[in-house]
A and B are shown apart, each in its own frame.
Chain A
């Protein structure tokens, strides 16, 4: 990759060349700066527009009332609650599998064909388009697994729905699984090897070492990753589009039945009022966008703060 440049070996007019070169470099670096600015600027503009136009809509009522009058008035409480419930159930699926999967890769697995295959699988899971997850969730959870569960639990199929919170959360859990595995892996690898060795030398078994030494030490890093994953989950729309998100619910389901009922969620709500309801006032749309953006960026900020704090502590 390093090719000797003939010009550098022989330069009769070094100073003149130096001036042009310096001018050229200034120009090139300035251009790079302008191009970088053209990335930073839109990011700021998007956040600014959503904040500036959404803020007037935010009120106590907007956050705590149900939509009224065909969603042209009232608030977005059911969508906020639905998103929170969705995130919780999703994490309940994704965290155990993801963390244990990462523990396997870092602590147990030996390098070989199997690990190579697992890595390829994780990488491809991370790249599957979100709408394809939606298709899969519809084909598997909505069509097969949830109906079977409703049958098995002797639930009334007229009262409960197979497009439901459970199906949506299971689909989202698959989508964020690669992210949970990757961040957990990174946190586990940060734990120094000598701590494991010390534990093993004292006679602890492998699992005791993992549970008492490695996991507690990696916990802050794992939590940071999980908060990031929560932010991602809260913003996803396409996977829940086909698995149970609904436009409007006349009555919020109780906690005991919510798993098998359709749900409202912020991103889907924004999509619906923005594209299907031309009559809805813009203020409500921007307000919904602001709440969603605030929620997602809020989780991201928490993760960044957590990471910075932990990094400082470690040093």
Chain B
């Protein structure tokens, strides 16, 4: 009798554990379903093509203009700027830690890089708002005057406000760096020592070995780290909301990086609070959320695919 009670109790526990196991799948599906449910109604008034390619975002005008293009391009300018800083710096730092310095230096530097990951995004936004933006405007202004660059560059560097795409890009790069550094470093460390030894035995220097053997061998892991970094850059909200100037206009080709923009994430965060339930504007913001979800889903799946492809090679 006691035995049977115990056995049914265990069956119950195992059921609970299994449910907790599949909970993640349920949550992802629920997120997708609820985003779809609140996003799709906007298509009845504005077709998808008009939404994505629409050049004006004026959700409160009459009639509302719900074009995502300024927001998508805003995300693109800030994100591309951030990645252009973070990818080379991140890979350089990972290589430095893994291939150049002795272990005790790495033990000091790594925790400092991890601090960058721990700082809350709202603190990045705050520091960007009060210090970096202003500093950047003054620096860019004097650089524009001092350098004999083309006119458009001088005009671009003459920033009317420190709250611009580039401010967001710099803060975002700092936030993304820990991801890229730690995953790239793991990938470099995973390269078998015999690869390096073989290269040294052939007479290559450490630097030649790093560039021609270690880095190429760690390529897929580094790409996975970069992909995760892209996901983080696209999805970051509070920092860009606070420092990019909140101006939903299409960024100009020459000056865009140095002018205020508005990203997709910041738009949701800034406007959802004041939007009435079930209005066109409300559904449009959910559509933006759905787009973000799909973008990060794609990026993460590619990252996972690359990582797994790598594992395959290693075990072979």
Binding site for B on A (CB under 8 A): 1-5, 8, 11, 21-22, 24-25, 28-29, 31-33, 35-36, 38-40, 42-44, 46-47, 49-50, 96-101, 103-105, 108-109, 114, 117-136, 138-140, 143, 174, 177-178, 181, 205-207, 231, 234-238, 241-242, 267-268, 270-271, 274-275, 282, 285, 289, 292-293, 296-297, 300, 304
Measured between beta carbons, the chain A residues less than 8 angstroms from B101 are 33
Q: Given A8-B204, A33-B101, A135-B286, list of 11 further CB < 8 A pairs?
A: A2-B195, A29-B207, A121-B28, A127-B235, A127-B300, A132-B235, A139-B34, A177-B27, A267-B122, A271-B238, A274-B126
A1-B213, A39-B93, A125-B24 are known contacts. Are A271 and B237 too (CB-CB below 8 A)?
no
Of A31, A100, A121, which is within 8 A of B27 by CB?
A121
B199 close to A (CB within 8 Å): yes
Residues of A within 8 A of B24 (CB): 101, 118, 121-122, 125, 177-178, 181
Known: A131-B265, A274-B129, A289-B126. A124 touches B16 (CB 8 A): no
CB distance from A209 to the nearest CB of B (A): 11
A267 to B121, CA, bound (A): 9
Give the distance in Å from the alpha carbon of A36 to the alpha carbon of B17 in the complex.
44
Enumerate 26 A-B pairs (CB-CB under 8 Å) in ascending A order. Answer: A2-B195, A3-B212, A29-B100, A39-B93, A43-B115, A49-B127, A49-B131, A96-B20, A100-B21, A104-B17, A118-B22, A121-B24, A123-B303, A125-B24, A127-B296, A129-B237, A130-B236, A130-B237, A131-B237, A237-B120, A241-B272, A242-B269, A275-B129, A275-B242, A293-B120, A297-B119
Closest to A136 in B: B31
Interface segment among B40-48, B59-67, B106-114, B146-154: the answer is: B106-114
> With the chains together, A275 CA to B240 CA distance in Å?
12
Q: A3 to chain B: which residues have CB within 8 Å?
A: 212
Q: Considering the chains assembled together, what is the distance between the CA atoms of A131 and B202 in angstroms?
A: 52
B23 CB within 8 Å of chain A: yes
Bound complex: CA of A40 vs CA of B93, how far in Å? 10
Which among A177, A236, A293 has the greatest number of chain B C-beta atoms within 10 A?
Answer: A293
Chain A residues with CB below 8 A from B272, complex form: 134-135, 138, 241-242
Query: Quick one: closest B residue to A282, CB to CB?
Result: B130
Number of interface residues of B (CB under 8 A): 94
A58 to chain B, nearest CB (A): 16
Contact of B125 among A44, A242, A274 (CB under 8 A): A274
Cβ distance B7 to chain A, nearest Cβ, rounded Å: 8
B300 CB contact (under 8 Å) in A33, A99, A124: A124
Give the residue of A109, A130, A296 whose beta carbon is less than 8 angstroms from that of B119: A296
Indicate the member of A36, A134, A178, A285 with the most B CB atoms within 10 Å.
Answer: A36
Contact status of A131 and B207, CB under 8 A, knowing A104-B21, A235-B122, A270-B123? no
Q: Please give, as numbers and ranges, the residues of chain A lying within 8 Å of B111 by CB-CB distance.
A: 304
